[in-house]
Structure 1
Amino acid sequence: MSLSDIKHPVLYSTMTAVAYNINTKYYGGLHYMWCTPYFGSDFQSPHFTVPPSSSPLEIYSTIQKEINGSDLHETKIKLNRMGIRKGAEAMKKLGKISEDAYKEIIAISKLTPMHQFRPLLCVISRIEAIPYYKKVDVRDRANPLSHEYIVADLPQAAFDVIRLG
């Protein structure tokens, strides 16, 4: 389903403070996010929304629990560290960052302490996201029936950042 056809006025995403700060400092305040028009997962609904691994609420909660529990086997934070490195590699290949910036981002992703990966809820205006979105291929979604989108190079003015709790 096209983002233009979605009736919800906002999209939701969860990112970490580290990713937010890297986007702000190295990518000119432009952000890359997976998002959905559903904040949480509702498995009781006959209309499938998103599974927990794509739910902004569940992602936020999982990251916060990993930080609060000082979980050395954390999964979401490890995935975020890898995502930051993958993003830096893509930006370097596109010529959007220098080799020095790339090396700094890689070092930041590896050295930043767990507690600095605190989660941030992003509330994105659906209308403002339309020029920046692409649909996620069915094979790449957490569930083939879920509504998932990617927004790339989204300016900070197109969304709000909220900390829960």
Structure 2
Amino acid sequence: MTDFKDLVRLDLQSLATRLATGSPAQSELGTQEWLAVVQVLTTRILRDAVELSTDDWGLVAQAYAYAVDTAIAAGDFDHREKTYRALHLSSNLLRQVPANPDIELLDPHRMTELLIRELPMPVEQARAQAEHWTTLERSEILALRIAKEFLRPGLYLAHRAYGEHLPEPLNSWERVFPSLP
């Protein structure tokens, strides 16, 4: 049985090694503990990013994927939260370290593809709804806010991937971004 307090006291290398090997099992920690593991791991990745070698990044990426997927399976958050966290982590990491096409979190092209896939609506719908968002149903406003939260780090990633001239639909999303609630 894994002791949660001992687990989160581990340094990044030790924590990543444990998680990358599938330990602890989902059943060994509670739902909130899995969320805490994801948060601790994310904090340690951001703190130590500039010191990680290429081999370390493979281990850390595998550990991050396991921790997030296990937290989802434990019922603490959902796929949308996973996307939100990945976009923000990637955006913050790419402000510190070079892009790396072998590591999804460090690949602005793959992260931009994730953004496009996971946006909750087409850009045309967002543009039309943003013009009168105060009159929309709560669920429609929420979808617009989710789009904005995904775009906040996502547009940075898109510019890292494509430079100043974004392809569609990213260019249109960038134009509609300021009008989203």
More helix by share: 2
More strand by share: 1
TM-score norm. by structure 2 comes to 0.26
TM-score norm. by structure 1 comes to 0.28
The structure, 1 or 2, with the larger RCO (C-alpha pairs under 8 Å, 6+ apart) is 1
